[in-house]
Amino acid sequence: MRILLVEDERRLAEALRAGLSAEGYAVDVAHNGRDALWHASEHPYAAIILDIMLPGLNGYRVCRRLRDQGDSTPILMLTAKDGEDDEIEALDTGADDFLPKPFSYGVLLSRLRALIRRGGATRPGVLRLGDLELDQAGRTCRRGTADIALTGKEFALLAYLMQRPGQVVTKAELLDNLWDFAASATANLVEVHVSALRRKLGTETIRTVRGAGYLVATSGA
Ligand code: CA
């Protein structure tokens, strides 16, 4: 079973990685939020252990970003202090469980096992638009009975639009929510991915609202 561990304190990260590996987990380690998002977009994980205090993009933002992208991987968040506010915010951003630091390794293991057993508490369902079906838990897309292979970014883009049917979404909003380096990414990048999606889905699904952005019409509209 593959786990993503996101922790910037390298000695703690290495100790946890070694311990989890000894338990039989395959463990990928990210030391910052951006790497975490990259790993999560590249591999399916059984669970993510996510520290809150990270350089750059903190754990809350990583969690929020993953959920906005339709990623429902169970997340165990490591809260920095025994503060109720941290814990509430962790759950509000879509984490499934939290563990205050410092924690005992045994407790971490048992919480992780429990989390994997029950899956994500906030596991989202299937998005539908006419005969188009996007399964956010299974990460599959189909039109009728035909499977459509999407890249991670195409999946995230389509999920974002399908969660907002009938609503115009600007390129800036898409860049801000779906790309890590919003400053260096451009509107052109969004257009390239929308074109790729249209080649796979047909041109009717995602409409261009000139000068404003994109929209998927509500079913039947
Ligand atoms: Ca930290």
CA-nearest of 209, 211, 171 to 193 is: 171
Rounded to the nearest angstrom, the distance between the alpha carbon of 5 and the centre of ligand 1 is 12
pTM here is 0.59
Q: Which residues pair with 2 in a beta bridge?
A: 26
Which of 25-34, 75-84, 96-105, 141-150 has the weakest average pLDDT?
75-84
pLDDT over 90, % of the chain: 47
Ordered by start, the domain boundaries in the chain are 2-119, 126-216
Residue pLDDT, tens place only, 90-115:
777 888 888 988 899 999 999 999 88
Matching fold, domains 2-119 and 126-216:
no
Could you give the C-alpha distances from 156 to 12, 16, 129, 150, 196, in angstroms and in order? 32, 30, 16, 9, 13
Mean per-residue pLDDT for 109-125?
75
Rounded to the nearest angstrom, the distance between the alpha carbon of 97 and the centre of ligand 1 is 17
Rounded to the nearest angstrom, the distance between the alpha carbon of 75 and the centre of ligand 1 is 16
Domain 2-119, what fold?
Answer: Rossmann fold (3.40.50)
Average pLDDT, whole number, for the chain? 86
Rounded to the nearest angstrom, the distance between the alpha carbon of 47 and the centre of ligand 1 is 18
Rounded to the nearest angstrom, the distance between the alpha carbon of 86 and the centre of ligand 1 is 14
Rounded to the nearest angstrom, the distance between the alpha carbon of 79 and the centre of ligand 1 is 9
Rounded to the nearest angstrom, the distance between the alpha carbon of 58 and the centre of ligand 1 is 9
Rounded to the nearest angstrom, the distance between the alpha carbon of 6 and the centre of ligand 1 is 9
Domain 126-216, what fold?
Answer: Arc Repressor Mutant, subunit A (1.10.10)
Q: Is 83 left (phi over 0), alpha (psi -120 to 50) or beta?
A: beta
Rounded to the nearest angstrom, the distance between the alpha carbon of 44 and the centre of ligand 1 is 23
SS3 at position 56: coil
Give dist(CA 104, CA 201) in Å, integer: 49
